[in-house]
Amino acid sequence: MESKGLVMQDFQNVARELAPVFPTHSRWNGLTAASTSALMRTATMINLNCGDQVNSGLGVLISGVLSVEKELSDGRRALCVLFHEGDLVDLRRTERARQGNLIAIKESEFLALDEDQTAAWIAKCPDIAGMFIAEFGEHLARMRDHVTDLAFKTPLECLASVLFEFRRWPGVRLGVLQSGAFRVPISRGNIADYIGVKPETVSRAIRQLEREGLIDIPEPDQVLITNIPAMRCLANGGRPRQSTRKN
């Protein structure tokens, strides 16, 4: 794991030296030059390999995917939440022993923010405060949807819902191929840990979606949803249940 300090005097230096820091699709680019410069003065860019643990509890994910990983009492692994490019990561108020560890599940860049300085700038700068509020609101909506998936949906329905979730990710959306396919940002094993099933269950569900003509797999890391209305109905819990078991 490598880290380098970013000490910037103004937004022009940020843009010139990091060209740019934030992903082009990120709402963080809507901050004023003064607010961006303020955040960068004490920020640190951390380069992460897959599996690296992030010790900072506050920052912005510049590239890659992070997750909160928790090991259950019986040794099973759960990915509680996923963070994509441009996401605010704020775990300051959460007890680490209960929440699990923040890890990279692919090569990532994380802009760690100084907690005390950021709190001061939130109090002083309305646009920074508004950005944090907007990010919190989006995260709560995503967590609500994910809890619904885990509590009430079958594995097939959960997978359909997660594929739509990935399709909405800004970084993936920019990489949408001309065919309409999108890149799945994490492995099938990580998808399994995210929706609470075994990896072979994810593989079976993908094959079933292919057989039913709902998706195509142009490449191993790509998905093309070929019947969006039927797939959306499935993702919303529209498939009659034979069992409530997930494995």
Residue 127: strand, helix, or coil: helix
Residue 221 φ then ψ, to 5°: -105, 20
* pLDDT, greater one: 2 or 167: 167
**More reliable by pLDDT, 129 or 57:** 129
Lowest model confidence (mean pLDDT) among 1-5, 133-137, 169-173, 226-230 = 1-5
The Cβ of residue 166 has, within 10 Å, a number of other Cβ atoms equal to 19
Cβ–Cβ < 8 Å for 232, 197: no
% the chain with pLDDT above 90: 54
Q: What is the pLDDT at residue 18?
A: 42
| Non-local CB neighbours of 146 within 8 Å, separated by 6+ positions | 81
Kindly indicate the confidence band of residue 5, based on its pLDDT and cuts at 50, 70 and 90: very low
Q: Is the pLDDT of residue 54 over 60?
A: yes
**6 strand-pairing partners:** 43
Rounded to 10°, the helix 155-168/126-152 angle is 160
Please tell me the predicted confidence (pLDDT) of residue 30.
86
Average the pLDDT over each of 9-13, 54-58, 93-97, 209-213 and give the range with the smallest value: 9-13
pLDDT at 22 over 90: no
Going by pLDDT thresholds of 50, 70 and 90, the confidence category of residue 57 is confident
DSSP 53: B
DSSP-derived secondary structure for 86-140: T-EEE-TTS-HHHH-EEEESSSEEEEE--HHHHHHHHHH-HHHHHHHHHHHHHHH
Residue listed under structure tokens 């700068």 = 125
- Judged by average pLDDT, the poorest of 2-11, 19-28, 134-143, 169-178 is 2-11
What pLDDT is recorded for position 177? 52
The mean-pLDDT minimum among 46-50, 158-162, 170-174, 198-202 falls in 170-174
Q: Give which of 55, 71, 66 is closest to 105, Cα–Cα.
A: 66
Query: Is 34:124 a contact under the CB 8 Å cutoff?
Result: no
Q: Could you give the residue ranges of the DSSP H alpha helices within 153-183?
A: 155-168, 170-174
Residue 6: the pLDDT is 42
pLDDT tens readout for residues 191-229: 999 999 999 999 999 999 999 999 999 888 889 999 999
Predicted confidence at residue 201, as pLDDT, reads: 96
| Per-residue pLDDT, 231 | 95
**Is the confidence at residue 50, as pLDDT, over 60?**
yes
| Sequence-separated (6 or more) residues with CB below 8 Å from residue 125 | 32, 34, 35, 38
Taking 50 as the threshold, does the pLDDT of residue 14 lie above it? no
